[in-house]
Amino acid sequence: MSLPHTDLSQMLETAIVAARLAGQRAMEESRYIHTSVKNGNEIVTQADPICQKIIIDRIRETYPEHGFIGEEGQDGNLLSIPPRSGTPIWWVIDPIDGTNNFANGMLCFSVSIAAILDGKPIVGVIFEPATDSMYTAAVDMDAALNGSRITVNDDEIDPFAIFGVDSHPYPSIEVGKQKIMDQTRYRCLGSTALHLAYVARGAMIGTVSPAAKLWDIAAGMILVERAGGIVTDTQGDPLLPVDLEKYDAEPLPTLATNQAIHSRVLEIFAKK
16, 71: one domain: yes
DSSP letter, residue 203:
S
Q: What is the CATH number of the domain that holds 82?
A: 3.30.540.10
Same domain, 119 and 177: no
Residue 110: band (very low, low, confident or very high) from pLDDT cuts 50, 70, 90: very high
Q: Which of 102, 82, 84, 135 lies closest to 33 in space, CA to CA?
A: 102
> Taking 90 as the threshold, does the pLDDT of residue 34 lie above it?
no
What is the reported pTM?
Answer: 0.95
In a domain, 141, yes or no: yes
CATH of the domain at 200: 3.40.190.80
The tally of domains found in the chain comes to 2
Determine how many CB atoms are found less than 10 A away from the CB of residue 108.
15
Question: Do 144 and 173 share a domain, yes or no?
Answer: no
Q: Are residues 142 and 213 in the same domain?
A: no
Q: Which of 119, 149, 179 is the last residue of a domain?
A: 149
Q: What's the pLDDT band for 186 if we cut at 50, 70, 90?
A: very high
What does the mean pLDDT of the chain come to?
94
Q: What do you get for the CA distance between the two ends of the chain, in Å?
A: 41
Closest CA to 112 of 153, 71, 165, 60: 71
Question: Which residue range forms the structural domain that includes residue 136?
Answer: 5-149
- What pLDDT shows up at residue 39? 66
Spell 90-104 as b/e; 16+ CB within 10 A means b. bbbbbbbbbbbbbbe
How much is the pLDDT for 80?
A: 94
